[in-house]
Amino acid sequence: TFPGLIKLTSSTGSRGIQYRTLIFFSLFLNPERPPVRSTMGLVWMVVAALLASWVFNALVYLVWRPRAITRQLRAQGVGGPGYRFFAGNLAEIKRLRADTAGAALDVGNHDFVPMVQPHFHKWIPIHGRTFLYWCGARPSLCVADVNTVKQVLSDRSGLYPKNIGNPHIARLLGKGLVLTDGDDWKRHRKVVHPAFNMDKLKMMTVTMSDCAGSMMSEWKAKMDKGGSVEIDLSHQFEELTADVISHTAFGSSYEQGKKVFLAQRELQFLAFSTVFNVQIPAFR
């Protein structure tokens, strides 16, 4: 099997020594065919090293890093509901949203925050208008102070970059004006700005009025049939918005592009349904 090695070791006169010498020289002179036990041992060593590295990185990301961030912000006076292993505060957020899922606002009540963001409605009185909460192992800072919000929105130094932690929403919105920063944002704004010029917007008011008039005519036709009529304003205004966009931007109508808008609505539902799920990088 190994040319030259039998001749080299035959002078030893001992089978045991001969065998060990063959293995020794086979590792160096014929590395393509190492012994099976040595190969398996090397493979298990590599697997163990990779597993140990993965466990270490997971502990740093899921345990040490959240504790370090919480400690540093707490030293600056920024509290929060506290980190829970792996899930963060997502379990409490889901529970609070489930409790308010069937609630409805009164006609004269415009306080929709307890319904839309019940966790913020609960945490702000407890932790103040600036606090830290966790979406999984990703830290998020809630800023409800008006002066701080003005400072963040007026900053031009790039200290507060836009960041969408959910990859599904990022893919849905794309790298447009909403998610870009710096030179990319300036370029997108330069392209989009002429479309929102006041003179062009004035030219669109007639189209917008016609779309609204068409919607009102449909309502009137339903009422003329007699009896009580229930109209879902949320759905109607979604269709009105889509109809205005279709006429002003594409020269079409909502009915003609209905399949596209329905598909887009389904994509929005799928993307936003993952907002309060733990995002695992390997399973995105």
In this structure, what token pair is assigned to residue 253? 């109508």
- 8 A C-beta contact, residue 211 and residue 252: no
pLDDT higher at 222 or 31: 222
pLDDT higher at 21 or 215: 215
DSSP-assigned beta bridge partners for residue 131: 142
Confidence of residue 258 (pLDDT cuts 50, 70, 90): confident
Q: To the nearest 10°, report the CA torsion of 134, 122, 117, 85.
A: 20
Best CA proximity match to 165, nearest among 185, 137, 188, 186: 137
- 8 A C-beta contact, residue 185 and residue 176: no
* Pair (202, 155) in one structural domain: no
Residue 173 CB-density burial (10 A; 0-12 exposed, 13-18 middle, 19+ buried)? middle
pLDDT higher at 148 or 23: 148
* Pair (49, 94) in one structural domain: yes
- 8 A C-beta contact, residue 46 and residue 22: no
Structural domain includes residue 185: no
Phi and psi at residue 99, to the nearest 5°: -65, -30
Phi and psi at residue 156, to the nearest 5°: -120, 10
* Pair (208, 123) in one structural domain: no
* Pair (151, 68) in one structural domain: yes
In whole angstroms, what is the distance from residue 96 CA to residue 83 CA?
17
Residue 130: in which H helix or E strand, if any? Answer: strand 130-135
pLDDT for res 283: 56
Residue 7 pLDDT exceeds 50: no
> Whole domain around residue 42: which residue ranges?
38-102+109-160
Confidence of residue 33 (pLDDT cuts 50, 70, 90): low
pLDDT for res 21: 39
pLDDT for res 126: 96
Give me the half-sphere count of Cα atoms (radius 13 Å) on the Cβ side of residue 84.
10
pLDDT over 70 percentage in the chain: 85
Confidence of residue 20 (pLDDT cuts 50, 70, 90): very low
- 8 A C-beta contact, residue 139 and residue 89: no
Domain count, the chain: 2
pLDDT higher at 191 or 92: 92
Structural domain includes residue 171: no
* Pair (138, 202) in one structural domain: no
Structural domain includes residue 239: yes
Tell me the pLDDT of the chain averaged across its residues: 83
pLDDT digits (tens, 9 = 90+) for 60-78: 999 999 999 999 999 999 9
Rg (CA), the chain: 32
Confidence of residue 273 (pLDDT cuts 50, 70, 90): confident
Structural domain includes residue 4: no
- 8 A C-beta contact, residue 35 and residue 23: yes
Averaged pLDDT for residues 86-114: 89
* Pair (125, 66) in one structural domain: yes
In this structure, what token pair is assigned to residue 24? 């020794």
* Pair (152, 46) in one structural domain: yes
Other Cβ atoms closer than 10 A to 35: 11
Confidence of residue 24 (pLDDT cuts 50, 70, 90): very low
Structural domain includes residue 71: yes
In this structure, what token pair is assigned to residue 191? 């392209």
Query: Global pTM?
Result: 0.72
Structural domain includes residue 168: no
Confidence of residue 16 (pLDDT cuts 50, 70, 90): very low
Averaged pLDDT for residues 27-54: 74
Structural domain includes residue 32: no
Top mean pLDDT of 125-134, 161-170, 268-277 is at 125-134
Structural domain includes residue 279: no
Residue 271 pLDDT exceeds 60: yes
pLDDT for res 27: 43
Residue 279 pLDDT exceeds 80: no
pLDDT for res 91: 94
DSSP-assigned beta bridge partners for residue 139: 134
Is the torsion defined by CA of 84, 90, 96, 99 positive or negative?
negative
Residue 98: in which H helix or E strand, if any? Answer: helix 90-99
- 8 A C-beta contact, residue 177 and residue 185: yes
Best CA proximity match to 26, nearest among 43, 7, 55, 3: 3
Q: To the nearest 10°, report the CA torsion of 16, 18, 24, 27.
A: -120
Residue 37 pLDDT exceeds 80: no
SS3 category, 131: strand
* Pair (138, 244) in one structural domain: no
